């Protein structure tokens, strides 16, 4: 069996972070909406729902230990899209965000970027060991 420890650990952290973030968004939706300069909690709750689905999908991979390259690539692309979206959000709505809102967006983006990098490293290691 190819070595998948790095990849599975990165996916596990991503799933836990995404699930925890979804829960935080659900619990603190109104407060987070204010920090992000939003007039409605709908985008916060929609993001929470999408993050929960994303976390469950990732967790299923970790649970089953079935490494499907295209599925992992889609997760990595989703993480990269999150980081790019965060940069765009901050660039376009900087004046609407509170300092706390900026920190929330930036810390989440840095964490997600870390997961993407580790997942790329893990996928490459898995592919090398599968081809050895």
Other C-beta atoms lying within 10 Å of the C-beta of residue 79: 26
Digit-coded pLDDT (tens) for 87-112: 999 999 999 999 999 999 999 999 99
| Selection from 43, 42, 54 nearest residue 18 by Cα | 54
First to last CA, the chain: 11
User: How far is CA 75 from each of CA 23, 94, 113, rounded to the nearest angstrom?
Assistant: 20, 27, 12
36-90 pLDDT, tens digit each? 999 999 999 999 999 999 999 999 999 998 888 999 999 999 999 999 999 999 9
Q: How far apart are the C-alpha atoms of 127 and 132, rounded to whole Å?
A: 9
DSSP for 46-106 reads HHHHHHHHHHHHHHHHHHHT---HHHHHHHHHHHHHHHHHHHHHHHHHGGGS-HHHHHHHH
Query: Is the pLDDT score of 1 beyond 50?
Result: no
Q: Write down the pLDDT at residue 3.
A: 72
- pLDDT of 2 reads 62
Distance CA 49, CA 55 (A): 10
pLDDT band for position 15 (50/70/90)? very high
């Amino acid at each position: 069996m190819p070595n998948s420890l790095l990849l599975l650990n990165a996916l596990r952290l991503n799933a836990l972070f995404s699930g925890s973030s979804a829960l935080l968004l659900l619990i603190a939706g109104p407060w987070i909406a204010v920090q992000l300069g939003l007039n409605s909690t709908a985008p916060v709750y929609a993001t929470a729902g999408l993050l929960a689905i994303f976390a469950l999908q990732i967790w299923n991979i970790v649970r089953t230990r079935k490494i499907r390259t295209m599925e992992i690539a889609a997760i990595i692309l989703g993480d990269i899209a999150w980081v790019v979206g965060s940069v765009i959000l901050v660039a376009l709505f900087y004046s609407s965000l509170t300092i706390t809102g900026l920190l929330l967006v930036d810390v989440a983006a840095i964490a997600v970027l870390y997961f993407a990098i580790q997942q790329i490293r893990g996928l490459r290691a898995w592919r090398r060991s599968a081809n050895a």
